[in-house]
Amino acid sequence: MAHHRVKSSGKYPFWLKSTITLIGLSLLFVIVSYAKFILMPLAFSAFFAMLLNPLVRLFERWKVGRVFSIILTLLVVFIVFTGVISLISAQFVQFAERIPEVTENLKKVSNSAIQYLEETAGISQEEQSEYLQQGINNLIDQSGNYVSSFLSATTNIFTLMTLMPIFIFFMLYYQEMYRTFFQKLFASRKEEGTGIDELLDNIQDVTQNYLVGMLSVIGILAVLNTTGLLIIGLEHALFFGVFASLLAIIPYIGIIIGALPPLLFALLLTDSLLTPVFVVAVFGTVQFLEGNFITPRIVGSKVSINPFVAMIALVVGGELWGISGMILFVPLIGILKVVFDQIPEMKPYGYLLGNSITYEK
């Protein structure tokens, strides 16, 4: 089948292109920020639709029909998701039973800290109580904002979980329509350019590879974390190991955040001072393996953007969309690189996003 071509633009002055680019980026930031309520669930849904498309096609080959293939696929995802949540919840319930013990140990730690400050810094208990009271008052003053933010985040999560299955269903059902739309859009442009069919295939491939790679990394990290925590004898090793591995979807910092709960647990609820050291050693080793061997080999070759661009995407995504942005913006940059690499005028930008350094005199 002949590929439809994307038209190459003519030559324009540098100042004009730079001005248009800056205006376009400014508008993009405004749109992405204010249209978060619809763009975020659409982005998640699009990623999952591309990830689940091979499974839908598998069911279709069994002559089930497209609608029932999509429904069966969503049902499989729901069962797997429910199983994972049930496993984590069961572990969390066991952990929650020890919250009174955690509270008691925190009281002991706070009393020790008060005594230490009184002996070393010369701050009396009355002054410490005054500072603590001021801190509590400030916390109460800000609590309305915290509660509002928490309720807003909770509402967004429920809204997202409700809308996503519907969005995914229609994206899978109408995927051929979307491809035909782009073919019609560029049908009259016969000049030398990029095949739109090839471009769409590459976008789907890089997204599927990234998501499959991340799921593989999460599974490997769950095994490594849990095994390491079991070896050092930490309670609730399965919960802590799986929880930390799930946070690996946040690049670079996710696994560090995931290591904090087991470290605090070891500090507060174990008698041995070596246990917290062993926890740090376990997660430090897993972090080293993940950063240098696991992720680069499984994911790095599939979304080959350089770490500096990935960090910028992480910061910008976190600022615009919060945790969801930190998860979404790295693969979005990978998709942008694929698009730029396929369009002659945008290839320099694709090179800038990539991880291949070449210098020509």
pLDDT of 9 higher than 50: no
More confident residue, 120 or 23: 23
Whether 2 has a pLDDT exceeding 50, the answer reads: no
Higher pLDDT pick, 220 / 198: 220
CA distance 96 to 344: 57
Q: Would the pLDDT of 121 be above 90? A: no
150 membership: H or E segment, kind and range? helix 125-173
Q: Quick check: 68 pLDDT over 50?
A: yes
Residue 58 pLDDT more than 80?
Answer: yes
- More confident call, 205 vs 113: 205
Q: Which whole number is the average pLDDT over 88-114? A: 69
Is the pLDDT assigned to residue 314 strictly greater than 50?
A: yes
Predicted confidence (pLDDT) at residue 7 exceeds the cutoff of 60: no
Judged by average pLDDT, the poorest of 25-29, 171-175, 295-299 is 295-299
Rounded Cα distance, 66 and 80, in Å? 21
Confidence (pLDDT) at 73: 94
Residue 320 pLDDT: 87
Half-sphere exposure of 38 (CA within 13 A, CB side): 3
pLDDT score of 128: 55
Return the percentage of the chain with pLDDT > 70, whole number. Answer: 74
Predicted pLDDT of residue 359 = 57
| SS3 state at 102 | helix
Residue 123 has pLDDT above 70, yes or no: no
d(CA 290, CA 308): 18
**Is a pLDDT exceeding 60 seen at residue 56?**
yes
Provide the whole-model pTM. Answer: 0.72
- In 96-196, the DSSP E strands lie at 194-195
Phi, psi of 232 (to 5 degrees): -85, -5
Residue bearing tokens 């080793």 = 285
Residue 318 token pair: 């976190």
For residue 8, the 8-state DSSP code is: P
Residue 224 has pLDDT above 90, yes or no: yes
Residue 203: its pLDDT value, please?
76
* CA distances from residue 118 to 12, 33, 108, 251 in whole angstroms, order as listed: 71, 48, 15, 42
Cα 343–Cα 344–Cα 345 angle in degrees, nearest 5: 95
Residue 231 main-chain phi, psi, to 5 deg: -65, -40
Lowest mean pLDDT among 54-68, 108-122, 267-281: 108-122
Q: Which positions ≥6 away from 352 have C-beta within 8 Å?
A: 309
pLDDT tens figures, 128-176:
566 665 665 565 555 555 555 555 555 666 667 788 899 999 999 998 8
288: pLDDT strictly greater than 70: yes
Give the per-residue pLDDT at 74.
94
The whole-number pLDDT of residue 188 equals 59
Structure confidence at residue 6 (pLDDT): 47
pLDDT at position 225 over 70: yes
Cα 257 to Cα 283: distance, rounded to the nearest angstrom: 11
In degrees, to the nearest 5, what angle opens at C-alpha 219 toward C-alphas 216 and 224? 125
Query: DSSP 3-state assignment of 194?
Result: strand
> Which tokens is 8 given?
């190459």
Residue 8 has pLDDT above 50, yes or no: no
pLDDT of residue 302: 54
The confidence score (pLDDT) of residue 102 equals 66
CA distance 216 to 210: 10
Residues pairing with 6 in the sheet? 194
User: Token match 């002659």: residue?
Assistant: 344
Going by pLDDT thresholds of 50, 70 and 90, the confidence category of residue 192 is very low
Bridge partners (DSSP) of residue 354 are 305
Among 236, 238, 242, smallest CA distance to 222 is for 242
